[in-house]
Chain A
Amino acid sequence: MNVALIIIFAFLALAIFLGIRARRGRDMDLEQWSVGGRGFGTIFVFLLLAGEIYTTFTFLGGSGWAYGQGGPAFYILSYGCLAYIMSYWLLPAVWRYANENRLHSQADFFVSKYGSPALGVLVSLVAVVAMVPYLALQIRGLGLIVSAASYGTISATVASIIGVVAVVVYVIISGIHGSAWTAVLKDIMVLGVVVFLGLYLPFKLYGGIGEMFHQIQAQKPDFLTLPGQGYSPAWFISTVLLTALGFYMWPHTFGSTFSAQNERVFKRNAIFMPLYQLVLLFVFFVGFAAVLKVPGLEGDKVDLSLLMISKDTFSSPVVGLIGATGLLTALVPGSMLLMVSSTLLAKNVYKAFAPSTTEAQVGTLAKILVPFVGLAALLFALSSGQAIVLLLLLGYSLVTQLFPSLLFSLMANNLVTKWGAASGIIVGVATVTYVTVTGTTIGQLLPFLPQAAADTNIGIVALAVNVVVLLVVSFATGGLAVRREQSA
């Protein structure tokens, strides 16, 4: 065991210790546990929502894509910005309804709006399926960190298993109480490490940021822009749109908005959140610094770029600190995702079929489900072999399918019926699944289309199919009639 590994495991122990301490002497009911009693002001909701930006996806995935793809990685900086603009109007509307009806989860929202517990089951299942790749990428990240810090003594597979065990144990021992404190520690460390690496590496290795980009441009022309096909501007536009629309559709993000004290909180946050995102710029700098210095990583190995260049540049204790930061960026969101998906399965799926289940039984069942959801994510992580960014994009393609029926449900006269909502979601998810499993592209399905259409993100195409089906089925099942009655 070397110094780097010892530091990483020390931080894991610290995180678990913080979790145990936070739990002592506090017993929360479901209202307290899931929405914090609805008493959080601007700063806390800001931290809650902002903390979700810094996951392994940004830390390893963001730098990995800057390293592997170059220009296309810039989409990661673009979509949050547009999502925050929409949040100014979307979140207050969601919050108002959730608060008036004392709702706890995203699935509750659909159940209440469409008057259909069955729709709640569907929404929960889609959300959990979408969260599996998201969780898988955190586990992949943990595995990469442990394996890299072991300097080759622990294989990536064994390290991934260690990663999933760590997350599962962490969730079972500490629950949500641990996440809050560890999240603060995580954000401080990420901020420090990313800004340091993003400035130090370009200046040390290239003599400056501008100098670094000039050298990359000289050796790999066009690497810094979007290519003519593949990850082209058409891909960029459709992907930014897809991820911006899906941004608040993740059950854990949607759910954290319920914790706000009033709707003003979201409007103020919309001003500051875009600036907080600029940390991503430094993540990109790290990835680009690695391009000419640790060449040769391909496929899902690109996610190693940050760790590799750190190992080449720094001594083992510093690598340990960087690894420990990475560990926290995977542990905190990973535990969130694991808890939310297990709770959704217990509360909004199981309880829908067995309404007599008590709150306490739901809690117990949720805990029992934790290792199984973790195992599903581990199998997914080990089998897919895709870069972290592509795993998240798959999750986004699925979860964004919930957006149309949510948006329609917020309108004064909702012309969408529960049948329309359900059909749209099912068709959208089925489209994404078919294309992902068979590995077809739009270009292959519809070869007569121009290149720009062929590069369009499949999630957006599925979303369009979703909306068409949603409207047709709604009209067929009386959505229009209801609307006429209401307006008459």
Chain B
Amino acid sequence: MKLMYLLAALPFIAILGGIVFANRVEPYVLGLPFILFWIVLWVVLTSGIMATIYRIDPANREDDSE
């Protein structure tokens, strides 16, 4: 349960808090300025995090046998 909320908090910390440190052009990653790469990275990670949360959320466990 607690792990679930911790995971959900990560993108908030990374995007809202991390932007202060990620607000830079160098180094370029995959051709993108670092700030844009940082945001794209977290958009992709958010998708993975939500998939993980969906798995471990006990609320989804009851009728998993369908």
Interface string of A248-292 (1 = CB under 8 A from B): 000000000000000010011011101101100100100000000
Interface string of A136-167 (1 = CB under 8 A from B): 00000000000000000000000000000000
With contacts A85-B50, A225-B33, A267-B57 taken as known, whether A281 is within 8 angstroms of B23 at the C-beta atoms is no
| Residue in chain A with minimal CB distance to B30 | A210
B42 contact set on A, CB distance < 8 A? 78, 81
18 chain-A/chain-B pairs, Cβ below 8 angstroms: A71-B23, A74-B35, A74-B36, A77-B40, A77-B43, A78-B15, A81-B46, A85-B11, A85-B46, A88-B8, A213-B28, A213-B32, A226-B19, A226-B35, A267-B60, A268-B54, A274-B46, A275-B44
What separation, in Å, do the CA atoms of A321 and B48 have in the docked complex? 36
Say yes or no for A240: interface residue by CB 8 A criterion.
yes
Known: A78-B15, A81-B15, A233-B20. 17 other contacts (CB 8 A): A81-B46, A84-B46, A85-B8, A85-B49, A88-B50, A210-B28, A210-B32, A217-B33, A224-B25, A224-B33, A233-B19, A240-B16, A270-B50, A271-B54, A272-B47, A275-B43, A275-B47
Give the interface size class of chain B: 20 to 34
Task: Kindly identify which residue among B15, B20, B35 contacts A240, using a CB–CB cutoff of 8 Å.
Answer: B15
Quick check: B23 and A226 within 8 Å, CB to CB?
yes
- Say whether chain B's binding surface is mostly helix, strand, loop, or mixed: helix
What separation, in Å, do the CA atoms of A412 and B57 have in the docked complex? 20
Quick check: A210 and B31 within 8 Å, CB to CB?
yes
Q: Which 7 A-B pairs have the closest CB atoms?
A: A210-B31, A209-B31, A224-B33, A271-B50, A274-B47, A274-B46, A270-B50
B30 contact set on A, CB distance < 8 A? 210
What separation, in Å, do the CA atoms of A264 and B31 have in the docked complex? 38
Using a CB–CB cutoff of 8 Å, the interface residues on chain A facing chain B are 71, 74, 77-78, 81-82, 84-85, 88, 208-211, 213-214, 217, 222, 224-226, 233, 236-237, 240-241, 264, 267-268, 270-272, 274-275, 277-278, 281, 284
A271 contact set on B, CB distance < 8 A? 47, 50-51, 54
| Residue in chain B with minimal CB distance to A278 | B43
Quick check: B46 and A237 within 8 Å, CB to CB?
no
Tell me the smallest distance from the CB of A70 to a CB of chain B, in Å.
10
B47 contact set on A, CB distance < 8 A? 271-272, 274-275
Quick check: A236 and B19 within 8 Å, CB to CB?
yes
What separation, in Å, do the CA atoms of A71 and B23 have in the docked complex? 9
| Residue in chain B with minimal CB distance to A241 | B16
Tell me the smallest distance from the CB of A34 to a CB of chain B, in Å.
28
| Residue in chain A with minimal CB distance to B57 | A267
Tell me the smallest distance from the CB of A404 to a CB of chain B, in Å.
18
What separation, in Å, do the CA atoms of A281 and B50 have in the docked complex? 21
A85 contact set on B, CB distance < 8 A? 8, 11-12, 46, 49-50
Quick check: A84 and B24 within 8 Å, CB to CB?
no
Quick check: A224 and B40 within 8 Å, CB to CB?
no
Most buried by B among A217, A271, A278: A271
Quick check: A225 and B43 within 8 Å, CB to CB?
no
| Residue in chain A with minimal CB distance to B24 | A225
Tell me the smallest distance from the CB of B26 to a CB of chain A, in Å.
9
Tell me the smallest distance from the CB of A107 to a CB of chain B, in Å.
29
B11 contact set on A, CB distance < 8 A? 81-82, 85
What separation, in Å, do the CA atoms of A281 and B37 have in the docked complex? 10
A264 contact set on B, CB distance < 8 A? 60
What separation, in Å, do the CA atoms of A77 and B32 have in the docked complex? 14
Quick check: B50 and A278 within 8 Å, CB to CB?
no
Quick check: A277 and B43 within 8 Å, CB to CB?
yes
What separation, in Å, do the CA atoms of A284 and B28 have in the docked complex? 16
| Residue in chain B with minimal CB distance to A232 | B23
Tell me the smallest distance from the CB of B34 to a CB of chain A, in Å.
9
Tell me the smallest distance from the CB of B8 to a CB of chain A, in Å.
5
Quick check: B39 and A78 within 8 Å, CB to CB?
yes
Tell me the smallest distance from the CB of B56 to a CB of chain A, in Å.
12
Quick check: A284 and B36 within 8 Å, CB to CB?
yes
Most buried by A among B8, B28, B43, B57: B43
B24 contact set on A, CB distance < 8 A? 225
A284 contact set on B, CB distance < 8 A? 36
What separation, in Å, do the CA atoms of A240 and B43 have in the docked complex? 13
Tell me the smallest distance from the CB of B41 to a CB of chain A, in Å.
11
